[in-house]
Amino acid sequence: MLGALLIFLCVRAFLIEAYRIPSGSMTPTLLVGDWLFVNKLIYGPHVPFTDVTLPGYAGPKREDVVVFVSPAQIDQPQDPTPTLVKRLWGMPGDTVYMRDGTLYINGGARPQGPAFALFDPTDPTASHPGDVSPDFDWQKPIGLRASRFGPAPAQPTHDDWGPIVVPPKSYFMMGDNRYNSKDSRFWGFVPRANMRGRPLFVYYSYDPDAGLDYFRAITEIRWSRIGHWIH
Residues acting as catalytic residues:
25, 86
Of 156, 153, 173, 159, nearest to 129 (Cα)?
Answer: 159
pTM value? Answer: 0.91
Task: Give residue-wise pLDDT tens across range 82-125.
Answer: 999 999 999 999 999 999 999 999 999 998 766 676 677 778 78
Task: Give residue-wise pLDDT tens across range 10-26.
Answer: 555 556 889 999 999 99
What amino acid is encoded at 36 in this protein? L
Q: Is 12 helix (H, G, I), strand (E, B) or coil?
A: helix
Query: For the chain, what are the domain ranges?
Result: 2-47+59-225
Looking at CATH, the fold of the domain delimited by 2-47+59-225 is given as Umud Fragment, subunit A (2.10.109)
Q: DSSP labels for 126-172?
A: SPPTT---GGGGGGGGGS-SS-TT-PPPSS--SSSEEEEEPPTTEEE
